[in-house]
Structure 1
Amino acid sequence: MNEHTPLFAIAVAAELSGMHPQTLRQYDRLGLVSPTRTVGKSRRYSMRDIARLREIAALGAEGLNLEGIRRILQLEDETAALRARVKELESALADELLARPGRRVFAAGAQGEVITITPGTRVRRRNQLVLWSGHQERG
């Protein structure tokens, strides 16, 4: 079990979030919170859904309308996804640098992958960004 495990029926989720069940149904229709559905089509909310409902309530209490809340949640989700991708790329870069000490020239491919380039060669594809260190190791 983790924070994304669907555990709570709508009545329990409403109580935990301090909202009316009808409000949760409305937020589901608007796409603010998307609980998992059982085989019988009833909603099941996770702890992450409860936290999101509480965040929606806090933003609403600050005076934001539902469209503003939806946009903020969307931007927060995009930011989290981008941060995860940056960590993934940093890890790939670190692995590459460890596997090939002394090689500091690399490019980012069209899909975001890290491509090591032999020092002194030029990238032929125009959709790649080449990064390099100003320090060259001489041997």
Structure 2
Amino acid sequence: MDESTPVFAIAIAAELAGMHPQTLRQYDRMGLVSPQRTAGQSRRYSMRDIVQLREIARLSAEGLNLEGIRRILELENQVLALSERVRELETALADELLSRPGRRVFAAGLEGDVVSLRAGTRARKQNQVVVWRPLTSGDR
């Protein structure tokens, strides 16, 4: 079991977070904390949800409104997702370096993908020119 395993019913989660169960329902409707649902549609909160509820209470006590709190939580969740992605890419890079010695892995393809190149070769450069001309009143 890890911090994201949904185990707490709403009454227990509310008690652990120091809130009323109706507040948790409101936060769920607003998207501040989205617990997982059982087959019978009961809410199940994880320890991570409880921590997030406590963070909401702290930010609210500091004077932030719920929309500001929602935005902060959204950004924090993006940071977590990006951090996980960086760890995945670092692992993939380490695996690539170990399995293919003498190759570079830092070239990027046209779609942003990682391209392996043999030592001593270079990625082809794109020398395209884009011409931009502002619209005139006759072009509209």
TM-score range, shorter chain: 0.7 to 0.9
- TM-score norm. by structure 2 comes to 0.79
Question: Any idea what the Cα deviations from partners look like across 1:106-128, whole Å, max 9, x if unmatched?
Answer: 323466542211332433678xx
> Is the CA contact 1:93–1:114 (under 8 Å) kept in the aligned structure 2?
no
Q: For 2:25 and 2:67, how far apart are their aligned partners in 1? A: 16
Structure 1 alignment gaps of length 5 or more: 127-139
* Change in CA separation of 1:115 and 1:63 when aligned onto 2, cut-off 3 Å: same
Q: For 1:56 and 1:76, how far apart are their aligned partners in 2? A: 12
User: How is 1:1-139 mapped onto 2 (pairs within 5 angstroms)?
Assistant: 1-104=1-104, 106-109=106-109, 113-118=113-118, 119-123=120-124
Which residue is equivalent to 1:129?
none
Deviates more, 1:68-77 or 1:92-101: 92-101
RMSD: 2.1
Q: Which has the larger radius of gyration?
A: 2
Structure 2 alignment gaps of length 5 or more: 128-140
Amino acid at match of 1:120: T
Aligned length: 126
> Is the CA contact 2:105–2:114 (under 8 Å) kept in the aligned structure 1?
no
CA shift at 1:60, angstroms?
A: 0.8
CA shift at 1:39, angstroms?
A: 2.2
Question: Any idea what the Cα deviations from partners look like across 1:45-70, whole Å, max 9, x if unmatched?
Answer: 11111111011111111111111111
Which residue is equivalent to 1:136?
none
Secondary structure of 2:107's counterpart equals strand
Amino acid at match of 1:46: S
CA shift at 1:44, angstroms?
A: 1.3
Q: For 2:76 and 2:111, how far apart are their aligned partners in 1? A: 23
Question: Any idea what the Cα deviations from partners look like across 1:7-45, whole Å, max 9, x if unmatched?
Answer: 111111111100011110100000011111122222111
